[in-house]
Structure 1
Amino acid sequence: MLDITRRQVLLILVGVLAVSTMVAGVYGLVRQPAARPAANGHPAGIDAEAIEVESDESPAQEDRSLPRTSDPITYARAVATSLFNWDTTAGLLPVDYTAAVLADTDPSGEETPGLLTDVATYLPSIEQWLDLATMNVTQTLSIEQAFVPHSWAAALEQARGHLRPGTTAVTITGTRHREGIWEGEPAETSYPVAFTVFVACPPAFERCHVLRLSQLDNPLK
């Protein structure tokens, strides 16, 4: 009975991530006029300091770099792994785990502001992260399926050519595992997750880049 209580308490403390309201889907990906560069050289509406922090490379970040591939399924799986596999005891912060994804965003800059918002909802806040670190929490993702959802064909038809050629939605389903220490004893919890990664691959670009993420647990089907 005591072991069950530990699992329940850990689930309450570390199982919830704040999810902000966002629009993710065809309408968030419709091609817009290219973002006007600001005086600092970054597209208008993007925090230059945030981009510089996120893209500042360290050995740990380089190890998490996304693959250079034209296969949307392979690429989306890598995005999912990069965002979901983390360790609060490694001396890194959430921005270190989102850096690889943000460094590989839409080269035109059109989707970058939205992606900045998206990835923030997939990892704990700084306050949550520090709390999790006191319990030595680590997280991994077991991917069960990665597929282009049936609804994507209809979405492309409704977009009537307003999406970049090569834009693809890949829905990921799997199980998120967390392990940590609660009251001096090992504890763990697992629960299902599902989401959609929107990517742009050839012929839009020479290789795949991440555009947006759906709301967590609200994927395209």
Structure 2
Amino acid sequence: MKTPDLSDARSRHRMLAVLAALVAVLVLTGIGVYGLITGPPTSTEPGSDDSTAPEPVVTVPAEPVPTTTPRLPVVRPSADPETFAGNVATALFSWDTASGFMPLDYTSVILAVGDPPGAEQAGLAADIATYLPSREAWVELRQYATTQHLTIDTIYVPNAWDEAVAQAQPGQLAEGTIAYTIEGTRHREGVWNDETVTSEHPVAFTVFLVCAPAYDTCHLLRLSQLDNPLR
């Protein structure tokens, strides 16, 4: 008769121990998962039947509702000519085709800071129109949710303006009339085939303002042709 090998007995004992440990892990894991699903136990009055306890209620946070309302840019008033020139430039180049507004809406923003008598309003409206996309181009750009903004590099009084003032006839220019040439970069961004596409283009133009002593705050008179500023 063959005597059982001592090593085989030890192997069987080891296997039984491993199986017992696995069973314990599975039981504990099952309890843990069940606890995650049902949540903490609900307290009941002493002597009550636990089977009548209400089922736990699982609440899911609601998706946040967007509250942002599209807004038109604003030209911030200023009595400082250079500051006001920058404010005009920033608003002039800030638009969003997905906002629901049209080019005329953005035009009205700039016209709102025109000269109070309104003598230059018609000319200023024509100037602004050359800086904004046409209605047809706007509708096309809207398909790509195109937006635009400007970064300003330099603002300065051009030498040509000093010469113009020197040659002007008495009373031809109101007191406080000044010109600033602005150089910067126009940035555009849109979505094409679910991907964001950007472009940059250097721009330069001149804004003609009237400030103190004619008015307490500056007003916009006219704009030069885009990329054809006074130097």
State the TM-score, normalized to the length of structure 2: 0.67
Residue 86 of structure 1: aligned partner:
95
Call closer, same or farther: CA 1:59–1:129 in 2, change over 3 Å: closer
1:31-50 superposed matches below 5 A: none
Aligned partners of 1:82 and 1:98 also within 8 Å: no
Stretches of structure 1 lacking an aligned partner (at least 5 in a row): 1-57
Instruction: Judge which range, 164-173 or 88-97, deviates more.
Output: 88-97
Which deviations, in whole Å up to 9, do the C-alpha atoms of 1:139-178 show, x marking residues without a partner? 1101001111121111101113310010000111000011
Q: CA deviation at 1:185?
A: 2.4
Does residue 60 (structure 1) correspond to residue 56 (structure 2)? The answer is no
Does residue 210 (structure 1) correspond to residue 223 (structure 2)? The answer is no
Does residue 178 (structure 1) correspond to residue 188 (structure 2)? The answer is yes
Does residue 132 (structure 1) correspond to residue 135 (structure 2)? The answer is no
Residue 165 of structure 2: aligned partner:
156
Residue 18 of structure 1: aligned partner:
none
The secondary structure found in structure 2 opposite 1:108 is coil
State the TM-score, normalized to the length of structure 1: 0.70
Which deviations, in whole Å up to 9, do the C-alpha atoms of 1:61-88 show, x marking residues without a partner? 4xx3322221111111111111101111
Stretches of structure 2 lacking an aligned partner (at least 5 in a row): 1-68
1:13-32 superposed matches below 5 A: none
Residue 54 of structure 1: aligned partner:
none
Residue 178 of structure 2: aligned partner:
168
Paired with 1:82 and 1:68, the residues of 2 have a C-alpha distance of 12
Q: How many percent of aligned residue pairs carry the same amino acid? A: 51
Q: CA deviation at 1:103?
A: 1.0
Paired with 1:170 and 1:118, the residues of 2 have a C-alpha distance of 16
1:146 to 131, 150, 155: 155
Aligned partners of 2:107 and 2:125 also within 8 Å: no
Larger gyration radius, structure 1 or structure 2: 2
Aligned partners of 1:199 and 1:208 also within 8 Å: yes
Residue 23 of structure 1: aligned partner:
none
Aligned partners of 1:82 and 1:101 also within 8 Å: yes
Q: CA deviation at 1:59?
A: 8.1
Which deviations, in whole Å up to 9, do the C-alpha atoms of 1:157-214 show, x marking residues without a partner? 1113310010000111000011112233221110100000000001122210000000
Residue 69 of structure 1: aligned partner:
78
The secondary structure found in structure 2 opposite 1:60 is coil
Q: Which runs of 4+ in 1 moved over 3 A?
A: none
The secondary structure found in structure 1 opposite 2:175 is coil
User: What CA RMSD, in Å, does the superposition of the two structures yield over aligned residues?
Assistant: 1.5
The aligned amino acid for 1:167 is T
The secondary structure found in structure 2 opposite 1:144 is strand
Aligned partners of 2:71 and 2:99 also within 8 Å: no
Number of residue pairs aligned between Structure 1 and Structure 2: 162
The aligned amino acid for 2:202 is P
Q: CA deviation at 1:134?
A: 0.3
